[in-house]
Amino acid sequence: MRKLIASTMLSLDGIMQAPGGPEEDPSGGFAFGGWTFPHFDESMGDNMHGLDAKDRELLLGRRTYEIFEAYWPYQSDDNPIAKTFNATRKHVVSRSLTQDKLQWANSTLLPDDIVAAITALKAQPGKDLQIIGSGNLIQTLQGAGLIDEYNTFTFPVVLGRGKRLFEAGAKPGGLKLVGSETSKTGVVMSTYVPAGE
């Protein structure tokens, strides 16, 4: 059975909204888009294995898919992340998109019963599945007990408001830290696996 890996960038207070730029997700009046950029350094670039989808297939919620689709297909294959993202299979979760609207190569819309669809995907042979961003999707799959690993990049900032990785109502459970590194700018890059109730 293949693993389902959730990867995200977080503020110290657990916010994951719009790490990449102001236009990424201003919903709810969120004004801090791009909050990760002052903290990137070469040690983080060397450790992007948790966010680069290498040897994995992508699983994306609608908003993350649309952000990625508007950017990555237009980047040069000289960029290793673009090369990987553009070539890999992408499984998309959305109630509003249709298959014909998925213009990014190798993208497939999943059926509406997302828990059943992901359970079936995990049972098929193939590469591990990786969620990047997609907070609502992570919360749904966490509640269903389907996530096998969490890769978190925790940045030394407090945002005070915005969409959180775990909102109220998240399923209680333990996690075991299985790997951790810290960048020169104080970003803690950690890997956790579920450790029971």
pLDDT of 45: 63
DSSP H helical ranges for 42-175: 42-45, 62-69, 80-87, 114-123, 135-143
pLDDT of 103: 92
Measure Cα distances from 120 to 29, 71, 165 in Å: 37, 29, 24
H-helix or E-strand spanning residue 155: strand 149-155
Q: Which CATH superfamily is domain 4-194 in?
A: Dihydrofolate Reductase, subunit A (3.40.430.10)
CA distance 18 to 161: 12
Mean pLDDT of the region 128-145: 92
pLDDT digits (tens, 9 = 90+) for 84-135: 899 999 999 998 988 989 999 999 999 889 999 999 999 999 999 999 988 8
pLDDT digits (tens, 9 = 90+) for 8-63: 999 999 999 999 888 888 999 999 999 998 898 877 765 555 666 778 999 999 98
CA distance 48 to 125: 25
CA distance 125 to 191: 24
* Domain definitions of the chain by residue range: 4-194
